[in-house]
Structure 1
Amino acid sequence: MKDRTIQIFKRFIRSDYCLTLDELSEDFQISNRTIRNEINEINVFLISHKMPEIRTIRNKGMLLTLEQTEKKQLDTIIDEKNEFDYLNREERIFDLILAFSLSEHPIFLYQKESEYQISKSTMDEDMRRVRSILLEYGIEVLSIPKQGIVLKGSERTIRTMIYDVVNQSIDSLRFLDEKDAGLSVSEKHLFRYIPKNVLKKIDYIYHQTISSKEDIYRNQLVMFTAIWLSRYLRQELIVNSDWEVWDTDQNKLRTSFVDQLCQTLAVRPPTSEINYIIFMLETFNTGSISSSVEWVQAQLLSIQLIQYVEQITQIPFSKKEESLHEGLYRHMAGLISRVKSEIQILNPLKETVKRYYGNIYFAIEKFAPTIEAITKKHLSDDEIAFLTIHFSTSVSAINQELKYIYKAVVVCNHGTATGRLLAEHLKELFNIDVLAVLSTGELDLIKKLDVDLIFSTLSLTYFEKPILVVDPIIKIESRKKIQEFLERNRQFKRLVNNDNDSTELFYKVLDLIKESGGTISSNIYQTLENTFDQNHLKINKRELQPMLKDVLKKSDILLLEKCPDWKSAIQRVARPLLKEGCIKESYVKAMIASVNEFGPYIVIGKHLALAHARPEDGVNKLGISVATLAEPVVFGNEANDPVKIIFCLAAVDSFSHLNIMKSLIELINDETKITRLTNCTNITEFETILYEDELKETK
């Protein structure tokens, strides 16, 4: 059989549902008539091996019904015929790239010709395409006597290329499966160069050191680590590294992960390699305010994105702005770092998201250039789909009913964001109160929750409560199944009333904590907010954040300051906050050090700068100050220099300053207003101009 015939054959072996001629014709780019001829050839083969034939089912398509033992037998027969006989060009190219970059032994083309059983002219064409693909990454393919094929390029780029090629060739990484049945040809070839047992060891250490929960990024992080390890073992090293590893709780976990991995595998990479992998793993993190230098950019982009998508789709996301922003911001911080480092994350739900949430997806796609202006790199469809998931979750939350009559949990293996999306869908479409989204490792918690039903995205063995397996995104055909499930379990109906606004109660609890000598940290605030949500106590979250006029005092406003350079501008605008005890001197030094290291990223708009550093660099309490400059100062940002007005922000968490950020976004979009402010000679006039939009909102 030809390559194509084998591929069609495998489609039938692996499919549990009918395949149509039109579907196969589109996938393989051949006519229906040719497909019929291929199927006839396959049936002759099946008859010769005393197997069931592919049969036509009226109005549905064609189906090959096999027992599990017969599927295994066919896989064995095909493998015995030498799987390389049936590699198509894409599969050969994938194998060649992996061989050149990950093989422990020199690779010579004549060996690959023999292995694939192809002609020299076919191999020449394969290599032409390999060179073309790698050239897009800036990597040359050289043939050196006695050394074979060698890749020439930046080691960092080569590692990124391998990771990218693997993601493009394999839809989902199934290295945790005990059996190899059903693996694609690409997966089998990947495991030749990166053994499955190595991936499993990395995954086990990940669960021991970083998180025991299911995470949508887990497989990606494990794969990237495996590529790093493979290249290091080949002694393809990054000679020197300027990667900085922030001393944060998350990076301590990553350091522990890398240390444990090196100890388990008995390897001792140099410091430059350790710093590199920890830095790169940070790009898989859904970042926090204390772990990313881009946290201000992430928050500004999140606020702008929410406003833009609401404007385009006419969906009132402001109703769920607080919860949407928190998740979106944390994702955005990781996204900026990933895209800048050219790390591509695979989104297994991308096509489904496009199909069911196209209006949101395409709105975000239109906003993408604004993000790309920060990252200086292209934003992939996968990243756009991840952002869409956050908005889709809020759409369901906006529309959901306030009264629920079933209590349930969701068990999801696609990560927290996708699990929340399913939870919000259940709330919106049915009278279901989802108390928790759990991973498969947290099933013991179900006994401790007051729930009656379980909705899962994967098959589970759990006998204590009724379970229904559903897709992460509820399709029209799934609704009837869920409704029937609820009807079968109608004895679990409950009634919950949560109409009362509990914002005042929320304030009183915070006051009690303060009166008893406690501090309102980010964790306490978030825990209290989650507790109110879990107990159906509604909070008007828009009331919980101060406006710019509530934080910026007259003493924080400096007018027409004379500053010879950007360093003195930062030092000058920080003085009021130092005097008030909002920040320490170390915070001023950290702001200057960050600009020295990362460039003029604090210039966030035309003539506007926002000086800031991380909270742990010396912030005591929320504060903001502002200075206009008598003479504009050049910071080194070609697009937005010179700076005429500079703010200094001291943030203690991810949420309490969001209204302040919105005011700054208004300034970014209003160059005329900046000019009016910089021309002010007295503070009262400055305040009138600065707060005019806020005053309009309060009237």
Structure 2
Amino acid sequence: MRRFSARQRQILMFLLNRKNGVTAAEIAETISVSVRTVHREMDDLALRLSPYGLELYRKSGTGISIRLLGGEVPGEETLKAFRETVLSVKPTDFSGEERLILLMCELLEAVEPVKMFALAHTMNVTSATISNDLDVLESELSKLKLNLIRRRGYGVEIEGEEENIRAAIAQIASDELEYSDLIGNSPSKEGLVTRRLLQLAGKANLLQLENSLWDMNWDWTERLSEQHYTSLLIALSVMLTRVASGRVIEIQEADPQAEGGEQQVIDQARQIAGALEREFDIQLPPGEIHHIARLFLAAREDSPELARVDLEIMDIAERLIEEVVKRTGLPFHEDRSLRVGLQEHLNPALKRIKEGARIRNPLLSAIRKDYEELFKVMRSSVNEIKGGFEVPDEEIGFLVMHFGASAERLSQLGRNVKAILVCSSGLSSSKLLATRLAKEMPQIEVLRNASWYEAARLPEEDYDLIISTINLPIPEDRYIRLSPLLSQEDVERLLNHIQSITLRERSAPRQADFQEERAIHRLVKLGNMLHEIVSLLKGFRLYELDNTDWSLEGILGEALELMNASGAGSEDGMIADVPAVVQRLTDRERMATQIIPGTSLALFHTRSRFIHNRAVSLFRLTQPMLLGQGEPVQVILLMLANRELSRESLEVLSEISSLLLKAEVVQLLEVGSEEQIRNELAEELLSFFENN
């Protein structure tokens, strides 16, 4: 049978994942080609489908669809079998996107210029096509602080600092590879592009490297999000691969402070370097030690700020929920879990969109198929509130997963199988899978979500079953891999897994002990949260500040000194270095205004190693201060916290910041007394505590 080209595979997968017919224009928009190109490919596809007993059905008003020869609608089994065939047969060429990735890999790894004809031969295209691809690549490389050199008779090469080249490799690997590709035990079923990227990222080193990092037993690495932890691993793995090939960063030993870091970070870099030298039998010179230190510093700086989401993000989430409620009539505004999930997703999502980063959503086709109406509603809602930038369908798909999970969320039922969830697409896919499980299999109790590296180390007595959406680096009998959308086939596989593997006889004493332990952990969490609420409310203060002729730095400096004098924190005061904290606060204002839209209130918040305790204080100014685009600010709410912060503290502080979206709360902060404000905060936080 004749093979399909990469573009034909894209067209076929799009058709197979749609219930109804589609237009050539829809296909063209999805795979980024012209309508004329789609029609040309359709003529060839019509010939290639007949050996499979299928044909392209084209009808005016209905669109294009795949039918059995003779025009009948094919059954699900037929479509499933053909889909698997399309995916399993290697294409006869590379798509434009695949060529760009392969070109990037080839040039980043090359030690000398590569001739144009050699690149064209490798990609099985003409030199003119490669030249056009290099035009696109040049623009992408400039964003990564790298230059593309092209000279006749010389060849093509990428020029730039070694650290920037490593950062580019790590970025491509993070963007293009799934967690399953990187850490799963199962061999990848993808083609040359994935294998090439895995080689460049050093997959062979990754799990040994991860074990070495885990063995360091540092608190800060355990607090990293799964995304940041994995990104750090990829960057370290790329370093090992480059060092092994002779590309080493050679600098003299430098003063740690000159590197912009802390002595502790340098010491930890030396510690992990020593472990890696023993594990991989290599030598890491001083330049590599400082490279590791910079990776550590970057990872630590990426940890959550005091308020986990900005007020702009909160506002967007609220407006998006309102738009979807208007279009569907469903009470999404009553679902606190949806609001929190959206806020956590939107923060990095907006950053990706604004930076023009490539967004991957491997579930997009399935989401469009299973949530077709909700997808249309979400697209309309986003178009209504978007702020001057285009939101791709991949991001719309992630938002649909949040709202789909909310729509299907049911009341808790009795359960008897305790499961841990591991999802690679973040909070949206884990919540969707959890709610689908609650609907389809209420006997399963989801204890919590875990990252892939946590799941690999969980004691088996802590759970009955691990349900994952990716391959995991653990024995296959310890987990089952499912789709976040939980198809009927997934349900049947899960039932079989539970009956044949999971349900072993468990002693009553052990079950009772487990329930007791879970109850104790729950009480400890609630106790910590209540203690945090009471502590913050007791420490809340309202100050009147005469700021005549003062700059922002002067106002913040005086505010911090007043908080220091209040007696909070250690014997040395609450803030060890006031100028350093002032600098951090003013830097945040320079990056983005801290003003609450439509008010005279500004929220300044930060975490720092120079802060010894958590505190919230309000400052009313005698003279309006101009911030942002010349907007007057009369009131400043200052929220401070130490760098090492518990999850309960983050949740409470984040809840306080979210209250600023309520007009009545803002009005009270502007004109109310200290006691009135404290009582209002107490009522709101009590409601928050009871909901937990």
**Partner of 2:602 in structure 1?**
609
Query: What is the SS of the residue equivalent to 1:106?
Result: coil
With over 3 angstroms needed to count, the CA separation of the structure-2 counterparts of 1:279 and 1:351, relative to structure 1, is farther
Q: What TM-score, normalized to structure 2?
A: 0.64
Q: 1:150 aligns with which of 134, 151, 157?
A: 157
Aligned to 1:112: 119
Question: CA 1:31 to 1:540, structure 2 compared with 1: closer, same or farther past 3 Å?
Answer: farther
Match of 1:432 in 2: 443
Amino acid aligned to 2:412:
L
Counterpart for residue 414 of structure 1? 424
Aligned to 1:556, the other structure's residue is in SS state strand
Is the alpha carbon distance of 1:563 and 1:486 closer, same or farther for their aligned partners in structure 2, counting shifts above 3 Å?
same
- Please state how far the C-alpha of 1:531 moved relative to its aligned partner: 1.9
Q: Return the offset for 1:566.
A: 1.7
1:308 pairs with 2:302: no
Alpha-carbon separation, structure 1, partners of 2:79 and 2:210: 39
Kept in 1, the 8 Å contact 2:170–2:201? The answer is: no
- 1:172 and 1:36 map into 2 onto residues whose CA distance is 37
What per-residue deviation string (whole Å, max 9, x for no partner) do you get for residues 533-571 of structure 1? 99xxxx899999859995576x63315443522222113
- Counterpart residue identity of residue 186, structure 1: V
Q: 3-state DSSP class of the match of 1:661?
A: helix
- TM-aligned CA deviation for residue 235 of structure 1: 5.8
- State yes or no: 1:186 paired with 2:199: no
Compared with structure 1, are the counterparts of its residues 639 and 529 closer, same or farther at alpha carbon in structure 2 (3 Å cutoff)?
A: farther
Matches of 2:272 and 2:224, distance apart in 1: 15
Partner of 2:579: 589
What is the match of residue 556 of structure 2? 570
Structure-2 residue corresponding to 1:626: 618
CA distance in 1 between counterparts of 2:658 and 2:665 reads 11
Classify 1:690/1:110 alpha carbon distance in 2 versus 1 (closer, same or farther; 3 Å). same
**What is the SS of the residue equivalent to 1:589?**
helix
- Could you tell me which runs of 5 or more consecutive residues in structure 2 were left unpaired when the two chains were aligned: 32-36, 54-67, 507-516, 688-692
Q: Deviations over 1:602-654 (max 9, x none)?
A: 7333653334432643343x5332222233335xx533555432222244721
- Per-residue CA distance 1:314-357 (angstroms, 9 max, x = gap): 46567663x66777776677778878988767554455556646
Q: Does 1:100 align with 2:107?
A: yes
Shift of 1:444: 8.7
> Using the alignment, how far apart are the partners of 1:247 and 1:349 within structure 2?
44
Instruction: Name the amino acid aligned to 1:311.
Output: E
Q: Deviations over 1:215-251 (max 9, x none)?
A: 56666554444456667754689999998558999x9
Aligned-partner residue type, residue 658 of structure 2: K
Partner of 1:649: 639
Higher mean C-alpha deviation, range 438-447 or range 422-431:
438-447
Structure 1 contact 214–440 (Cα < 8 Å) conserved:
no
Quote the Cα distance in structure 2 between the aligned partners of 1:56 and 1:238: 68
The secondary structure found in structure 2 opposite 1:273 is helix
Match of 1:448 in 2: 461
Aligned-pair Cα RMSD in Å: 6.3
Q: For 2:658, which of 639, 662, 665 is the aligned residue?
A: 662
**Which residue identity lines up with residue 581 of structure 1 in the other structure?**
G
Residue identity opposite 1:604 in structure 2 = I
Q: Is the 8 Å Cα contact of residues 347 and 386 (structure 1) preserved in structure 2?
A: yes
Aligned amino acid, residue 614 of structure 1: R
Counterpart residue number, 2:284? 267
Kindly state the Cα deviation for residue 96 of structure 1 after the two structures are TM-superposed. Answer: 2.1
Preserved CA contact (<8 Å) 2:581 2:608: no
Contact 1:594 1:613 in 2 (8 A): yes
Distance 1:255 1:367 in 2: 52
* Alignment of structure 1 residues 443-592 onto 2, 5 Å: 448-449=461-462, 457=469, 470-475=482-487, 531-532=522-523, 550=537, 556-562=542-548, 564-583=550-569, 584-586=574-576, 588-592=578-582
> Are the structure 2 counterparts of residues 277 and 218 from structure 1 closer, same or farther at C-alpha, using a change threshold of 3 Å?
closer
Q: Are residues 218 and 156 of structure 1, via their aligned partners in 2, closer, same or farther at CA, if it must alter by over 3 Å? A: same
Matched-pair contact (CA < 8 Å) for 2:169–2:200: no
| 2:411 aligned with 1:401 | yes
User: How much does 1:594 deviate?
Assistant: 0.9
Q: What displacement does 1:107 show? A: 1.6
After superposition, the Cα gap between the structure-2 partners of 1:454 and 1:416, relative to the gap in structure 1 and judged at 3 Å, is same
For 1:463 and 1:647, locate their aligned partners in 2 and report how far apart those are by CA, in whole Å.
52
Q: Distance in 2 between matches of 1:690 and 1:362?
A: 41
The one-letter code matched in structure 1 to 2:283 is: A
- SS of 1:403's equivalent in the other structure is coil
Residue matched to 2:56? none
Deviation, structure 1 residue 447: 5.3
User: Could you tell me which of 295, 299, 306 is aligned with 1:277?
Assistant: 295
Verify the 8 A CA contact 2:184 2:470 in the aligned structure 1: no
- Separation (CA, whole Å) in 2 of partners of 1:424 and 1:484: 20
Q: Which moved more, 1:203-212 or 1:589-598?
A: 203-212
Out of 166-175 and 238-247, give the one that drifted further. 238-247
Secondary structure, in 3 states, of the residue corresponding to 1:625?
A: strand
Deviation (angstroms), 1:665:
3.5
Call closer, same or farther: CA 1:430–1:163 in 2, change over 3 Å: same
Question: Partners of 2:160 and 2:393 in 1: how far apart?
Answer: 27
Determine if contact 2:200/2:238 at 8 Å carries over to the other structure: no
Aligned residues, how many? 609
The alpha-carbon distance between structure 1 residues 204 and 445, as it changes in their structure 2 partners (threshold 3 A), is closer
In 1: Cα distance, 2:501 partner to 2:247 partner: 58
Q: Partner of 1:657: helix, strand, or coil? A: helix
Structure 2: distance between partners of 1:423 and 1:94: 35
Cross-structure match for 2:204? 197
CA–CA distance in 1 between the matches of 2:248 and 2:397?
37
Q: CA deviation at 1:404?
A: 0.9
SS at match of 1:631: strand
How far did 1:145 drift? 7.2
Once residues 464 and 90 of structure 1 are traced to their aligned partners in structure 2, the CA distance between those partners, rounded to angstroms, is: 37
Structure 1 124/459 Cα, relative in aligned 2: closer, same or farther at 3 Å?
closer
Tell me if the contact between 2:421 and 2:430 (Cα under 8 Å) persists in the aligned partners: yes
Counterparts of 1:163-242 in structure 2 under 5 Å?
A: 163=170, 165=172, 174-176=181-183, 182-191=189-198, 193-194=200-201, 196-199=203-206, 201-203=208-210, 205=212, 208=215, 215=226, 220-227=231-238, 234=247
Query: Structure 2: which amino acid aligns with 1:448?
Result: E
- SS of the aligned residue for 1:431 comes to coil
Post-superposition offset of 1:592? 0.9
| Structure 1 stretch displaced more, 349-358 or 654-663 | 349-358
Mapped pair 1:34 → 2:44: yes
Decide whether the 8 Å contact of 1:410 with 1:419 is kept in 2: no
